[in-house]
Structure 1
Amino acid sequence: MAKAEAAPEEGAPKKGGRKKLILLALPLVLGGVGAGLWFSGILPKLLGMGHHEEAHAAAPAEPAPPPPPRPVFVQMPDITANLNAGGRRAVYIRLKSQLEVVGEPDAQAVQAAMPRLVDLFTTYLREMRPEEMRGSAGTHRLREELMARAAIAAHPARVTDVLFQEILVQ
C-alpha cells in the first residue's frame, strides 16, 4: 500500500513551478535589457547623463606632445679589413654603412667619436671568420655587434641602428 500511495504524489504536477521560473527569469531578462541599453548609450541619454560627454567635447584640448625628433644618419667611412681565415688564403671584407642617431646633437657626438668607432668596427671585423658572415643571420649578428660597439664609443649619444649600404666579402 505504501507504494500505491507514493505513485500518485510523484506523478502529480508541481504547483507553482511555472511561477517560480517566471519570477527567476524576469529579473535576468530585465537586467540584460538594461545592460544593453546602458552600454549602447541610450539609457544614459534618457537619464540625462549624456551632458558629461558634451562638456568634455567643449573643453579645450591639451596641447599635443611634440613629435619625436627625426632620425639623423651619419655616414661611416668605408672600412676594409681582413677576416680571420685561420691560415687559409686571405679573405677581405669591405663595409659601407651609416649610423642612425636620434637627433642633431647626437650626430655631432658620433662625428666627434668617429676615430674610435672606426677602430672598434675594424677590430671586430678582423676577428670574424668568413663562415660567420654567411646568410641573413650573419648579417643580423654583425649589425647587433656593431650597434653595441657604436653605443659604447659614442656614449652619451644614442645610436639606434646600423644601416648597411654595402657588404663585400672576397
Structure 2
Amino acid sequence: MAAAIDADASNEEATDSAPAKRKLSGKVLVLYIALPLLVLLSAGAGVWFSGILGGHQDAQPRIAEPVFYDLPDILVNLSGPPPQHFLKMKVALQVVDQDALKRLEAELPRVLDSFQVFLRELRPEDLQGSAGMLRIKEELLRRIALAIQPPIVSDVLFKEVIVQ
C-alpha cells in the first residue's frame, strides 16, 4: 500500500512540474486576433469596391454624346462713335440631349431676339481679349437660360467672330 501511495504522489509531482497550458482570455482574443482581422477585411473590401483591384468594372459612368445646334449667322452693328463697326458671329449651342433640340427650335426666335438686343449694345472695346469673349459667352448663356425654362443649353461655342 505504501507503494501505491508513493506512486500517486510521484504522479502528482510529475503533473505539477510540467508546464500548464494557458487559456487565452477574451480580451486578448479580441485585441490581438479579432480586431486586426476585422481591420484587414474592411480595408480589403474598401479597396475592392473602390475599383483598384477590379471591383465594379461594369459600373463605369455613361457619358452622353454631346449634341450641338448651329445657330444661323448673326450680323449686327455695334454701338459707339463713327466709324460704324459690325460684328459677325457663328455660334453653336451645346444642348443637354437630343430631345431638347425640338424645344430649342421651337424657342429659337426668342433666343435670337435676346441675342440681337444684347449684341447691338456692345462696343468694339467689349470684344477685345479673351476676358471680353468670356463675358459675352456667359451673358449669351444667361440669356438663353432666361428665354428657355428649364435651361436646356449647357454651353455657347463661338465658331467665328469677326469685328469690322
Find the counterpart in structure 1 of residue 155 from structure 2. 161
Please tell me the residue identity of whatever aligns with 1:165.
K
- Which residue of the other structure, out of 111, 117, 122, is the alignment partner of 2:116? 122
Deviation above 6 Å: which 4+ runs of structure 1? 43-46, 53-56
The correspondence for 2:104, drawn from 107, 110, 114, is: 110
Q: What is the Cα deviation at residue 71 of structure 1? A: 2.3
1:29-50 per-position Cα deviation (integer Å, ceiling 9, x unaligned): xxxxxxxxxxxxxx77995434
RMSD (CA atoms): 3.0
Residue type matched to 2:130 in 1? S
Q: Which residue of 2 aligns with 1:79?
A: 74
Q: Are the counterparts in 2 of residues 85 and 129 from structure 1 also a CA contact under 8 Å?
A: yes
Conserved? CA contact 2:69–2:95, under 8 Å: yes
Shift of 1:110: 1.2
Distance 2:93 2:111 in 1: 10
Task: Pick the structure with greater CA Rg.
Answer: 2
Instruction: Give structure 1 stretches of 5+ with no counterpart.
Output: 1-42
Aligned-partner Cα distance in 1 for 2:79–2:33: 74
Query: CA offsets, 1:78-105, max 9 Å, x none?
Result: 000000023x121100000001111112
Q: What's the CA shift string for 1:46-76, capped at 9, x where partnerless?
A: 9543455677869x95973752433211111
Structure 2 unaligned spans of 5+:
1-31, 50-54
Determine the C-alpha separation between the residues in 2 that align with 1:160 and 1:70.
13
Instruction: Name the TM-score, length of structure 1 as normaliser.
Output: 0.63
- Of all paired residues, the percent bearing the same amino acid is 38
Q: Are the counterparts in 1 of residues 144 and 151 from structure 2 also a CA contact under 8 Å? A: no
| Contact 1:82–1:126 (8 Å) recurs in 2 | yes
Identify which of 56, 59, 67 aligns with 1:64. 59
TM-score (norm 2): 0.65
| Alpha-carbon contact 2:76-2:86 (below 8 Å) kept | yes
Q: Which AA in structure 2 matches 1:162? A: V
Q: 2:70 touches 2:92 (CA, 8 Å); kept in 1?
A: yes
Cα distance change of structure 1 residues 122 and 47 upon mapping to structure 2, 3 Å threshold: closer
The whole-number CA distance in structure 1 between the counterparts of 2:157 and 2:137 is 8
Are 1:98 and 2:92 matched, yes or no?
A: yes
